[in-house]
Amino acid sequence: MIAVILSGHGGFASGIAKAVHQVIGEQPQFKYIDFPAESTTAQLEAQMRDAISAIDSGDGIVFLTDLLGGTPFRTASLLSQGRDDIEVVTGTNMQMTAEMLLERDELNLLEFCDQALTCGHRGITSLAAEMALKNAQEVEVAEDGI
């Protein structure tokens, strides 16, 4: 099973982790690491290394981070440079996190990353867009005569 480490600024990681736990329950091989304002990059790196050691099963690790170019992303990216079984995905949202924790058994690292992007994009929408999609589907069904 692919191990997942979630990290982000402030309480981002713990907040997403708590919400995900509420929706899908406790997840194995999953760690979260907050990066509060008083923390240093060296502390974050040490926490990430500890998390890798704690949950690495040999099937690969994916870091889910909050912000492209932010310290959690950059630190995870540097750690990934030393190993070919670590990937980094950024722009993480709750939809992506929950779905990918449930889907990771059946995927390799590259498939995981591709699917994570799809899940994340699917989770970004608006009520107006969803209503328009629903209306378009209803029109399509009516035109098919079903």
Q: How is the chain split into domains, by residue range?
A: 3-144
pTM over 0.85: yes
Residue 146, pLDDT above cutoff 60:
no
For the structural domain made of 3-144, what CATH number should be given? Answer: 3.40.50.510
What lies within 8 Å, CB to CB, of 90 at 6+ separation is 64, 65, 66, 67, 68, 70, 73
Please return the burial class of 27, using the count of CB atoms within 10 Å of its CB with bins 0-12, 13-18 and 19+: middle
CA distance 61 to 18: 20
Tens of pLDDT along 71-108?
999 999 999 999 999 999 999 999 999 999 999 998 99
Q: Please, which pLDDT band fits residue 137 given cuts at 50, 70 and 90? A: confident
- Of 68, 70, 53, nearest to 5 by C-alpha is 53
Classify the phi-psi angles of 68: left when phi > 0, otherwise alpha if psi is within -120 to 50, otherwise beta.
beta
Pairing of strands 3-9, 61-65: parallel
Average pLDDT, rounded, for the chain:
94
